[in-house]
Amino acid sequence: MRRLRILGVPSSAGAYCVGVELAPAALRAAGLPSSLQDRGWDVVDAGDLTQRRWVPDRANPFLQNVDEESASVRELAEAAAALLRTGDRVLILGGSCTVAVGLCAAVSRTGEQPRIVYLDRHLDLNTPQSTDEGSLSWMGMAHALGLPGTGALLSAGQIPLLTPADLAYLGVDMEATTEGERKAVAELRLTVVAQDDLVNDPRRAAQAARDALSPGEFVIHVDVDVLDFLDAPIAENVNGRNSGPTIAQLGAALSTLWSDPQCRALSIGQLDPAHAASDPTALPRLVDALTGALCR
């Protein structure tokens, strides 16, 4: 049997508020591990890392809870690197979407160059200087790329973790990005496959993002706010209404990416079980989509 190792990262320290730290437990309760096991994976659940919760960080309003979130990223980098070294595939259940940074850092710790397809409505290229939001969830890829003003706060090792050729976006709504982010995309010539492309042809859009990466193994990150919030009210960010892919369309895109033999791992972030409670079908549908994508 193929072996899949699952690791939970119950941290909301870098998020906008509490809630996403409960996502790993919610996905397990919704039957994700057992569903994957039933469809042919030998699932090894490595449990959860340290639980960390968001608090109002009034001492660092533009970089909130940075010490806690940095500790979470470093802990994930170490734990996930050990899982990757087994040669098995890895599924990371977040938590804040900075789990993507920790996963890239884990790949780096194995001696490989990280590459990532980043499935998100947003670019997460903000810095403490370019936005007053203060949430590290909006800054993860800026830190991974080592943009000015980010320093080594989330790098958990190699600086930068990624070069522009190692990052491809999928599902971005450019109207939901900031001026500073759009400037970074232009200057770095980053690949951005737009939200409309993902909705209109999920498999083709996913393949375009994958083909844009530099040659070699890669990982995937899914921020669930890429989804249409009315189809899937599961994200921390509730602004994505009437736009974005459905859960089924996300599943089709993930299936294309995961079936690539050079795909090593998938991380999931920004899922808020409190919002998911508004639609009892949402988490089961997500589990079905993930199972279908990962069990081709």
Q: Which amino acid is at 237?
A: N
Q: What does the pLDDT read at residue 4?
A: 97
- Cα gap 241→278, rounded to integer Å: 15
pLDDT at 242: 87
HEC letters along the chain: CEEEEEEEECECCCCCCCCHHHHHHHHHHCCHHHHHHHCCEEEEEEEECCCECCCCCCCCCCCCCHHHHHHHHHHHHHHHHHHHCCCCEEEEEECCCCHHHHHHHHHHHCCCCCCEEEECCCCCCCCCCCCCCCCHHHCHHHHHHCCCCCCCCCCCCCCCCCCHHHEEEEEECHHHCCHHHHHHHHHHCCEEEEHHHHHHCHHHHHHHHHHHCCCCCEEEEEEHHHCCCCCCCCECCCCCCCCCCCHHHHHHHHHHHHCCCCEEEEEEECECHHHHCCCCCHHHHHHHHHHHHHCC
- pLDDT band at 132; cut points 50, 70, 90: confident
Mean pLDDT within 40-52:
96
Domain ranges of the chain: 2-294
Does the structural domain 2-294 have CATH classification 3.40.800.10?
Answer: yes
Assign 129 a pLDDT band (cuts: 50, 70, 90): confident
Is the confidence at residue 37, as pLDDT, over 70? yes
In this predicted model, which residue has the larger pLDDT, 136 or 158?
136
pLDDT tens for each residue of 196-246: 999 999 999 999 999 999 999 999 999 999 999 999 999 998 888 889 999
**pLDDT above 70 for 1:** no
Per the confidence metrics, is the pTM higher than 0.85?
yes
The per-residue pLDDT for range 143-198, each reduced to its tens digit, is: 999 998 886 666 556 678 999 999 999 999 999 999 999 999 999 999 999 999 99
Give the pLDDT confidence of 56-109 residue by residue, as tens digits.
999 989 989 999 999 999 999 999 999 999 999 999 999 999 999 999 999 999
Q: What does the pLDDT read at residue 140?
A: 93
pLDDT of amino acid 48: 98
Closest alpha carbon to 205 in 215, 195, 213: 195
Distant-in-sequence, close-in-space partners of 166: CB < 8 Å, separation ≥ 6: 113, 114, 115, 116, 213, 214
